[in-house]
Amino acid sequence: MEGIIVLDKPQDFTSFDAVAVVRGLTRERRIGHTGTLDPMATGVLPLLLGRATKAVSLLPETAKTYEASFRFGEAYTTGDVTGEVIKTDETPVLRAALETALDSFRGDILQVPPMYSAVSVNGQRLYKLARQGIEIEREARPVHIAELTLLEYNENEKTGKLHVTCSKGTYIRTLIEDIAQKCGTVGAMTALRRTAACGFTLADAVSLDTLKAMKENGESFDEILRPVEKLFSMLTAVSVTPAQAQRYLNGGALTISRCRAPKIAMPEGTQVALYEDGEKFLGLARAENGEFKYVKSFSKK
C-alpha cells in the first residue's frame, strides 16, 4: 500500500496511537505522520504509507490552520485544561480590548515554547522536566502568524474561539496564554482542532470509525489514499522527457535550460517537483549551478 491517508484524529489519541491503529487496519508496517498533534487536539493528521514515508524528511515548510477554543480567568500548568490550575484572575476582558490585543500577534512574533512540549534543551525534553516539577529558561523562537481571527467571544463567560493559520513550531496554547497576558489576565486553551495541514483540509479527512467500518465491510483503502505528490503541490512543477526521466532516476543531473520548466527565477537551492511528460510524478530535484540535482525519487521505475 502506498500513499496518504488523511486522518481526522480523535481526541485523547496521541499521534503514535493513531498510527498504531491505522497500521493494524491496513497491515502496512511502514507508516509515518507529518507532524504531531497533542492528545487533546483533533483534526487533520496526514499519515504516509509505504514508499510515501520517504517524504517525511522532505516536506516543504507549509502553514497549518487551527480552530482553538479558550477561556480567560484560569492558568494551567500545561497551558490547556488538561493540566492543573495554578492561577485564577477575575479581570474582565471586553471584546474590543481582545480584538486590539490580537493585532500584536499577527505576522512575525517571538514565542517561548511551553515546558510541556517535546522541545529539547541541553539534550532533555522539556515535558520530562516539567513532569518532575522542574522549570528552566527557554529561548524565544521566531514563528509566523499568517491569520488570527476571533470567531466567537462571550464577555460574560470569557470564552471564545480563534481561527489561526501559523508556521510550523507554533504553540497555540502559548499563543492563547500570551494573548491573555496582553489583555491583563490569564487564560488557557480548552479545545484545539486542526483544520488544514500539508495541503489537506478536513474535507479530505476520514475518521478512525470510517476506516474500521471499511475494514469490516471488506472495502479497499485505495479509495481514500491520496497520492504522495499532493504533499509537494506547492512546489514548482517541471516536466521532463522520458529520456531525462531515466537519467534522473539513475541519479543524474538535468540541465535546467533543457527541461520544460516555467520561465521563472530559479534561485540556488530551489526545490522542484519533476513529472515525466507533465503527468507522472517522478520525485524531487534541487536547482544548483544551472542543473536540477537529484533529491529523492518516488517513482516505481
Catalytic residues: 38
Which amino acid does the sequence have at 65? T
Q: Kindly report the CA angle at 35 between 32 and 38, in degrees rounded to 5?
A: 110
Q: How many CB atoms lie within 10 A of CB 58?
A: 14
Q: Is residue 262 classed as helix, strand or coil in its secondary structure?
A: coil
Distance from chain centroid for Cα 128: 23
Determine the number of helices (DSSP H) and then strands (DSSP E) in the chain.
6, 18
**Nine-digit cell string for 141:** 523562537
Per-residue burial over 153-171, b = 16 or more CB atoms within 10 Å of its CB, e = otherwise: beeeebbbbbebbbeebbb
> Residues with Cβ < 8 Å from 293, sequence gap 6 or more?
253, 285, 286, 287
24: left (phi over 0), alpha (psi -120 to 50) or beta: alpha
Distance CA 7, CA 220 (A): 16
Taking the CA atoms of residue 205, residue 210, residue 214 and residue 216 in that order, the dihedral angle to the nearest 10 degrees is 160
Answer for the pair 82, 33: CB distance below 8 angstroms, yes or no.
no
Longest pairwise C-alpha distance within the chain: 70
Distance CA 244, CA 260 (A): 11
* DSSP state letter for 106: S
Kind of pairing between the strands at 64-72 and 187-197 = antiparallel
